[in-house]
Amino acid sequence: MNKKIIGTLVAGSLISSFAQAADGSYDFGEALEINANTSGVSVNAAAITANDGDIATNTAAITSNDVDIAANTAAITSNDGDIAANTAAITSNDVDIAANTAAITSNDVDIAANAADIVINTNAIGVNAADIAVNSTAIAANSGAIANNSSRIDSNRRDIDQNRRGIAMVAALQHTTVLPGMTNALDVAAAHFDGETGMSINYSRRINENWQVNFGAASTTDLEESVVKAGVGVQW
């Protein structure tokens, strides 16, 4: 059936075309479809414009991502190097850990041996402490005895010194005899014995032809000690 487009109708913002058929009737169906298509084209145009904006945004984002990917690639390469270094370090640590484990095992054995020795030493210390207590008592007794002996030794030394001086003084004393025809006799003498020196003065007097008396005195050189004597002599 032949149709003839004879005009357009405007409804609001929509534009419609209508046609007249050969039999003189009007067909508004195609006009409505055309109007709908026109609206769709407008919507699509707006969508395309929006898509163009989104595409531009995506293009910029892709460019930024390319930069980030390049940076990440470099970082991954660096990380690969670090991972390799860490792997080597871990391997070295494994060796060190194995060595330390062996050393710890050895130390455990030594510690066990030391613990046994400590027990032995503790027992020995207890025995030694008892012995020390006994020795301390004995030492205290010895100290007292030593002090007593020292005192006695000092006393003996003084006695010995006194004896030496006495011997020196006695050695200096003489029995002076008055010769016949004489009445008096006087002499001075000295003697030395073992580091000590004695000095003396002796006097004798004849009483008669048969009897005489004598006196003597001796002293050390420091005059701290002295000896005196007296005697009677008879002659016939």
Residue-range domains of the chain with CATH: 1-123 (no CATH), 173-234 (3.30.1300.30)
**DSSP state for residue 178 in the 8-state scheme:** P
Predicted confidence at residue 16, as pLDDT, reads 46
CA–CA gap between residue 61 and residue 66 (Å, rounded): 9
Q: Is the pTM of this model over 0.75?
A: no
Decide if 200 contacts 144 (C-beta within 8 A).
no
Element (H, E) at 97: helix 29-172
Backbone phi, then psi, for 24, in 5-degree steps?
A: 95, 0
Q: pLDDT 10s per residue in the chain (236 long)?
A: 555 544 554 444 444 455 555 665 555 555 566 777 888 888 999 999 999 999 999 999 999 999 999 999 999 999 999 999 999 999 999 999 999 999 999 999 999 999 999 999 999 999 999 999 999 999 999 999 999 999 999 999 888 988 998 998 898 888 888 988 899 999 999 999 999 999 999 999 999 999 999 999 999 988 889 999 999 999 88
Element (H, E) at 126: helix 29-172
Predicted confidence at residue 15, as pLDDT, reads 45
CA–CA gap between residue 220 and residue 22 (Å, rounded): 190
Predicted confidence at residue 19, as pLDDT, reads 53
Predicted confidence at residue 71, as pLDDT, reads 94
CA–CA gap between residue 138 and residue 192 (Å, rounded): 45
Decide if 5 contacts 17 (C-beta within 8 A).
yes
CB-side neighbour CA atoms (13 Å) of 186: 2
Predicted confidence at residue 37, as pLDDT, reads 82
